[in-house]
Amino acid sequence: MSSAVTVFAASSSIAPAETGRLLNPDEFEAALRAIGASRYHNLHPFHRLLHGGRLNQDQVRAWALNRYCYQAMIPIKDASIVARMEDASLRRIWRQRLVDHDGEAEGDGGIERWLKLTDSLGFSRAYVVAARGILPATRFAVEAYVHFVRERSLLEAIASSLTELFAPIIISERVAGMLAAYDFVSKDTLTYFDKRMTQAPRDAEFALAYVTAHAVTPSLQAQVLGALRFKCDVLWSQLDALHHAYVDPGLPPPGAWTPGGETTA
């Protein structure tokens, strides 16, 4: 019980069934993919409503506003990982993620592309960037992710990025569904996802090779599987909070953005 993170480690890290023998690379990848098949947030009801066109504009707004906080934190998370890498060749590879999200110059990069989406939904950039009105559960989940990559082993930090193995599925579902369903969303406002269709598989391939090479004991493999489960929880709990606040029963917590509410700073 030396820290809060340790107190609750058991619940997200190691299932009893995972403490047995060393899995071979194919079995290990299958175990990782099985986690995605049961826990990735494409299975969440909110995602199905979103890409199925069954949300109203305010519900899509709430999603884009909250998801911005996650996007804004990604390069901070990745810089935290780079800061823990002692090998320059590894740092060079992971550094590309910073370029992808922060761009080469003002007006470029993944965060900027996400802001094009929130622009199109009527939010001012000042309002979005100040993170006013976001759900506390979004903030807590996002901060948990940053703390995780800073406090756990480098292997676990890298493993927590493995949800990108499953990203192409959700992105293709989401873009097609949203374009078909919402007249307030255009191909131009969804360019964030175009880029991710090539970036995510490249990143996931590297991370998968890394964890396969470095998880050389059953215990390390269990840590990797636990890290991926943790990351699925980070994504899932964000949709839980959106669902609760804006869909069913539709009770935004005190201080959170409300449908029809302020969209400018």
For the bound state, the minimum distance from the C-beta of residue 220 to a copy of itself, rounded and expressed in Å, comes to 21
Tell which residue, 93, 72, 62, has the closest CA to residue 253: 62
Q: Of the candidates 31, 57, 58, 76, which one interacts with a copy of itself according to CB under 8 A?
A: 76
Question: Between 218 and 257, how does the x/- string for binding to a copy of itself read (CB under 8 A)?
Answer: -----------x--xxx-xx--xx-xxx--xx-x-xxx--
Q: Is 67 in the site for a copy of itself (CB under 8 A)?
A: no
CA distance 61 to 52: 16
Q: Of the candidates 22, 27, 34, 45, which one interacts with a copy of itself according to CB under 8 A?
A: 45
Contacts (CB under 8 A) with a copy of itself, residues 141-200: 141-144, 146-147
Distances (CA, A) of 116 to 90, 132, 179, 208, 243: 32, 18, 15, 31, 24
- 156 versus 240: smaller Cβ distance to a copy of itself: 240
With CB under 8 A, what is the number of residues at the site for a copy of itself?
A: 51
Contacts (CB under 8 A) with a copy of itself, residues 13-42: 38-39
Question: Which tokens in the block code for residue 133?
Answer: 């009105």
According to DSSP, residue 215 is labeled -
- 17 versus 251: smaller Cβ distance to a copy of itself: 251
Show the DSSP H helices in the chain as ranges: 4-7, 9-13, 25-39, 45-51, 57-82, 88-102, 110-120, 125-129, 136-151, 154-159, 167-181, 191-214, 218-246
Phi first, then psi: what are they for 91, rounded to 5°? Answer: -60, -40
Residues binding a copy of itself (CB under 8 A): 1, 3-5, 7-8, 10-12, 38-39, 43, 45, 69, 72-73, 76-77, 130-137, 139-144, 146-147, 229, 232-234, 236-237, 240-241, 243-245, 248-249, 251, 253-255
